[in-house]
Structures are given as structure tokens and as C-alpha cells.
Amino acid sequence: MLINGSQLINLPVMGLQTGTELGRTKLAIIDPSKLRIIAYEVDGPMIDERPSYILVSDVRELSNIGMIIDSRDEFVGKDDVISLSKILGLDFNLIGLNTIDEHRHRLGKVAGYNLDTTDFLVQQLTVRPGIIKSISEAELLIHRSQIIEINNREVLVKSGAKKLSPIKKIDQASYINPFRSPTPQTKNARTN
């Protein structure tokens, strides 16, 4: 199911063993090479180490009461998991990145994203045009298949504009309307 990524921020993290809130999500940690959320930074009164993270692989379920994990033992520090440590070292933040098309036209900035909750893959980016362009243009929704490249400064996407082929002039004499007969029928004409 696709949901807006902001719905998973400030979400309660519930412990299955105790049935209580262990903390709340603060920030999504996104792997820019796969555009996949690998963890969430969490904070709360029951968190011992700061900053602490919950890997999405340790999430049992997303429900209407929050993100459900087994216990507070699932929380990890930034140096506890090598793959998490590498991603954190990139200091990547998807929100606010400039978005340009392959012709170097500025489209706006990433304002949000939609993700699939089954695999935590970012499926769509919401791009908000600049202040002046926002008067005449709406937000853009860019599917992950349109993304060419992502780095710490910008998102490069395929252009939506297509080259138009020249319009061919139609010779009126060669055009035949299939619903009209070439000669008018008389009133006495029989139909079978």
C-alpha cells in the first residue's frame, strides 16, 4: 500500500512484549542508491542511547496504533549496524533536494514522497515548484522509474516533454467519411 512518508514520522513505536509505547519515529534514514528506507531514528523516554534507530527489517507490523516491534532490544545505535553506519555517513536528506529534468530545467524541490509499506521503497516524489512558478504550475508527482540520478544536491529526472512531429496537412479531397455515402440515397431506397 502506498502512503505518504510524512505519515510515518512522529509515529508511536510499540513494543509487542509490553504493549506500551517505546518511542516515536523522528526521521527516515533513506539509502539513496536504492531509494529505500532502511531505518527510522527514534526518540522517547524509554530510549537509552541517543541517537537510536529501528531498522525496518525489525518492524513486525504497521498498524493504526503505530509501528510494532518485538521489544526495546530492537533499538540500535549508529555504530551497531555497519550498513546503517555507512548510510548515516552519507548525510543524505531527500526532502529539499532540487529537482531538474535531463534538459537541465529546474522543476522545483522535493517536498515529500510516497512509499510502499511492504518493502519501504520510495515509489513517488512530490516536487513543489518555486514560488513564482507555483502560481501557474501545480505540484509534480514523479515516479521512481522517471529518476535518472540522485546525489546530495539534486534529483535528475526524465523530461516529460516529447518532441512533437510536424503536423501533416490532410487533403480534403482524399478524406472520405465512412458514415456518409458518396451519393445521397433517395427516399425509396431499400435496405436489407
All domains of the chain in start order, with CATH: 2-90 (3.90.50.10), 98-157 (2.30.30.240)
Q: What is the pLDDT of residues 25-80, one digit of tens each?
A: 999 999 999 999 999 999 998 888 999 999 999 999 999 999 999 999 999 999 99
Cβ(145)–Cβ(125) below 8 Å: no
pLDDT of residue 172: 52
Give all strands (DSSP E) within 73-191, no chain letters.
76-77, 98-101, 106-116, 121-128, 140-143, 147-150, 154-157
Say what the pTM is: 0.78
Residue 192: pLDDT over 80 = no
Q: What is the pLDDT of residues 77-107, one digit of tens each?
A: 999 999 999 999 999 999 999 999 999 999 9
SS3 18: coil
